[in-house]
Amino acid sequence: MTDTARITHWIGGKLWDGVPERQGDVFDPATGEVSAQVDLAAPAEVDAAVAAAKGAFAEWRNSSLTKRTQVLFAFREIINARKEEVAAAITAEHGKVLSDAVGEVTRGLEVVEFACGIPHLLKGGFSEGVSTGVDVYSIRQPLGVVGIISPFNFPAMVPMWFFPVAIAAGNTVVLKPSEKDPSASMLIAQMWADAGLPDGVFNVVHGDKPAVDRLLEHPDVRAISFVGSTPIARYVYETGTRHGKRVQALGGAKNHMVVLPDADLDLAADAAINAGFGSAGERCMAISALVVVEPVADELVAKISQRMGTLRTGDGRRGTDMGPLVTAVHRDKVASYLDSGVADGAELVVDGRDVEVDGAAEGFWLGPSLFDRAGPEMSIYTDEIFGPVLTVLRVPSYDAALELVNSNPYGNGTAIFTNDGGAARRYQFEVEVGMVGVNVPIPVPMAYYSFGGWKNSLFGDSHAHGAEGVHFFTRGKVVTSRWLNPSHGGINLGFPMQT
Ligand code: NAD
C-alpha cells in the first residue's frame, strides 16, 4: 500500500476497518496524479453492508412518517449548506468544472426536496362501503434492502435520483458508486449520519464487477437501481431479474438535436455548444448528434465553430469552461474517434487535439471537436463516444430527421429547435425517445416528474424519481375489511327481529 489517501466502505454507520484484498487508483484528471486508493469490495464486504442494511430495516420502516420526514429535512439542510464541499470532491475526481459540479448537487437536492413530501406520496386510496359494512383501501410498503449502482459521470446526482425516495419510503440502502470518483458518496454518508439517519440505513461499498455481481445475486437485496453504459445495464437487468429482484437499469445514449430551417440559429448554436461540451460531453443527456435540416447547415456550422473558439479548456478549479476527461484511457478512446471519423469520410471542422489548455501538462485533456457531413453508418454516429465530440448530420427534411432519430437504438433524450409550434408538437408526439426538449437542449425532468429513456437507454419499466420512483421503491397492498356495527342494545329477552 502507498501513503496516498485511502477511501473505504461505509457500513453500519462507520468506516470499514478490514484489510482490502484489492484497491484501485483514483486520479485527479486535471493533473493526471493518483490522489487516493479506493478499496474494491470482495463479496464478504458486500455481505456485511447488506447485513447492516437488513438489520436496520425493521426500525426504519417502523419509524413514523413524521420522523422520516424530519431526517430528510435535516439532510436537505446539511447538504445544501455543504454543496460546495461536495462539488469540490467531484471536480477533484471527475474533472468537471466547479460550477457544473455545484449544478449537479443542486439537481440531486431537488430529489431530496421531492422526497420530503413522502407522507403525501405514500397516500393510498379508500373506497367506503363497497359491500355492506365492507371498505377497501390500498397502502404502499417498502421493499427492504435496495442496491444502487451508479456511473462515474454524476457521482452525487445519480445516486440522489434514487436514495432519497428509497429511504423516505422506508427502505434501507447499499450504494455502490463508481470506483473512479468515490469521494462524493462518502461525504453524503457522513451527512446522513449528521442528519440523524439511524446506522445501517445508508451504506456505501466501493468496488467493481465482483461487488456488483454480489449485490445482484444476494438473496436479501430486493431491488436494484442501476445507471451506466448499455451493455452493463442489460447485464444488470438480466442478472438481477434472474435472481428475483425488481430492477431498473438506465443505460447509454445518443442524443439528437434536430434543427429546422426556421429555428433561431444563434439560440441553436448556443444550445449545441452547451449541450455538446458541458461536462466535456460526459453526460448521458449530452447532445452528440446535431441533425440539421437544410439549407441552414453551412450557417449553423459556422456559428458553432466560431463559438467553439471562445471556449477555455482547463482545470475546473480555475474558472474554465470545460475540464479534462475522467481518465487517460477514456481520453484516448474518445480521441480515437477523431481518426476514425476522418477515415470514414466525415469533415473534421474543429480538432480538439490542438487545444491550448489552462492546466497541468499531464491532465487528461481533449478540447471540443466538431465533425460535419457525417453519415449514419459511421462509428462517430453509431457509437456513444461520451466525450466532447459533436457530429453534424445534414438531412433534407423533417421526415428524414425523424426517421434518423427513430432508427437509432438509443432513446434517452432529444431536442428540436424550431419556431414552428406545429412541427414541435408533431415531433414530441412522433419521436421514440423518453425525454424531449422543445428549444431546450437538455430536457432533464424536474424531480416530481420521472427521468428515463426508451429502447436501449433503459431496461425495466420504471423511470427514476417522481411518481415512478415512489412506485419502484414500494409495493402495493390492498386491504378489504369488514367491521360489524357496534350493538349496544342492552339486555332484551324478546324474540330477535330484523331492524
Ligand atoms: P459503466 O457501465 O462502465 O459503469 C457503471 C457502473 O457499473 C459502475 O458502478 C461500475 O463499477 C459498474 N460496472 C462496470 N463494469 C461492470 C461489469 N462488467 N459488471 C458489473 N458492473 C460493472 O458506466 P460509466 O462509464 O461509469 O458511466 C458512463 C455511462 O453511463 C455512459 O454510457 C452514460 O450514457 C451512462 N449514463 C446513463 C444515464 C442515464 O440516465 N441513462 C445517466 C448517467 C450515465
Instruction: Give me the phi and psi of 220, to 5 degrees please.
Output: -90, 0
Spatial distance between the Cα atoms of 73 and 367, rounded to a whole number of angstroms: 41
pLDDT above 70 as % of the chain: 98
pLDDT above 90: residue 285: yes
Q: Is the CB of 162 under 6 A from ligand 1?
A: no
Q: Is the CB of 179 under 6 A from ligand 1?
A: yes
* Pick from 193, 220, 248: nearest CA to 55: 220
pLDDT at residue 132, rounded to an integer: 86
Contact between 315 and 308 under an 8 Å Cβ cutoff? The reply is no
Q: Is the CB of 453 under 6 A from ligand 1?
A: yes
Mean pLDDT across 326-342: 98
pLDDT above 90 as % of the chain: 95
386 Cα nearest atom in ligand 1: 31
What is the 176 CA–ligand 1 centroid distance (Å)? 11
Mean pLDDT across 462-471: 98
Residue closest via CA to ligand 1's atom 15 equals: 209
Q: Is the CB of 228 under 6 A from ligand 1?
A: yes
**Cα-trace Rg, the chain:** 26
- pLDDT confidence of 287, banded at 50, 70, 90? very high
Mean pLDDT across 475-496: 84
Residue closest via CA to ligand 1's atom 26 equals: 151
pLDDT at residue 489, rounded to an integer: 66
Over the stretch 122-149, which tens digit does the pLDDT of each residue have? 999 999 999 888 999 999 999 999 999 9
Lowest mean pLDDT among 240-249, 371-380, 459-468, 486-495: 486-495
C-beta atoms surrounding 141 within 10 Å? 14
* Pick from 195, 208, 139: nearest CA to 167: 195
Residue closest via CA to ligand 1's atom 30 equals: 228
Residue closest via CA to ligand 1's atom 18 equals: 209
pLDDT at residue 4, rounded to an integer: 86
Over the stretch 355-370, which tens digit does the pLDDT of each residue have? 999 999 999 999 999 9
- 98-108 in b/e burial notation, b at 16+ Cβ within 10 A? bebbbbbbebb
154 Cα nearest atom in ligand 1: 43
| Cell, residue 63 | 419509524
Residue 460's Cβ-count burial label (10 Å; 0-12, 13-18, 19+) is buried
DSSP 8-state code for residue 460: S
Q: Is the CB of 368 under 6 A from ligand 1?
A: no
pLDDT at residue 355, rounded to an integer: 95
Q: Which of 40, 153, 180, 213 should be mutated for ligand 1, with most atoms under 8 A from CB?
A: 153
DSSP 8-state code for residue 464: B
* Pick from 426, 385, 388: nearest CA to 406: 426
Nearby residues of 58 by Cβ (< 8 Å), 6 or more positions away: none
Mean pLDDT across 276-296: 98
Q: Is the CB of 209 under 6 A from ligand 1?
A: yes
Q: Is the CB of 158 under 6 A from ligand 1?
A: yes
Helix (H, G, I), strand (E, B) or coil at 201: coil
**What mean pLDDT value characterizes the chain?**
97
- pLDDT confidence of 498, banded at 50, 70, 90? low
Q: Is the CB of 341 under 6 A from ligand 1?
A: no
- To 10 degrees, the CA torsion angle through 179, 185, 190, 195? -160
C-beta atoms surrounding 292 within 10 Å? 28
Contact between 398 and 404 under an 8 Å Cβ cutoff? The reply is no
What is the distance in angstroms between the CA of the first residue and the CA of the last residue of the chain?
Answer: 85
Residue closest via CA to ligand 1's atom 35 equals: 228
* Pick from 110, 414, 167: nearest CA to 287: 414
Residue 154's Cβ-count burial label (10 Å; 0-12, 13-18, 19+) is buried
pLDDT above 80: residue 105: yes
Q: Is the CB of 216 under 6 A from ligand 1?
A: no
pLDDT at residue 1, rounded to an integer: 43
Could you list the beta-strand ranges (E) of 171-220: 172-176, 202-204
150 Cα nearest atom in ligand 1: 9
- pLDDT confidence of 488, banded at 50, 70, 90? low
Instruction: Give me the phi and psi of 223, to 5 degrees please.
Output: -150, 155
Give the DSSP H/E element, type plus range, for residue 287.
Answer: strand 287-293
- pLDDT confidence of 487, banded at 50, 70, 90? low
Residue 207's Cβ-count burial label (10 Å; 0-12, 13-18, 19+) is buried
| Cell, residue 7 | 477511501
pLDDT above 60: residue 499: no
Spatial distance between the Cα atoms of 373 and 273, rounded to a whole number of angstroms: 18
Q: Which of 248, 283, 284 should be mutated for ligand 1, with most atoms under 8 A from CB?
A: 284
Catalytic residues: 284
What is the 237 CA–ligand 1 centroid distance (Å)? 13
Contact between 111 and 164 under an 8 Å Cβ cutoff? The reply is yes
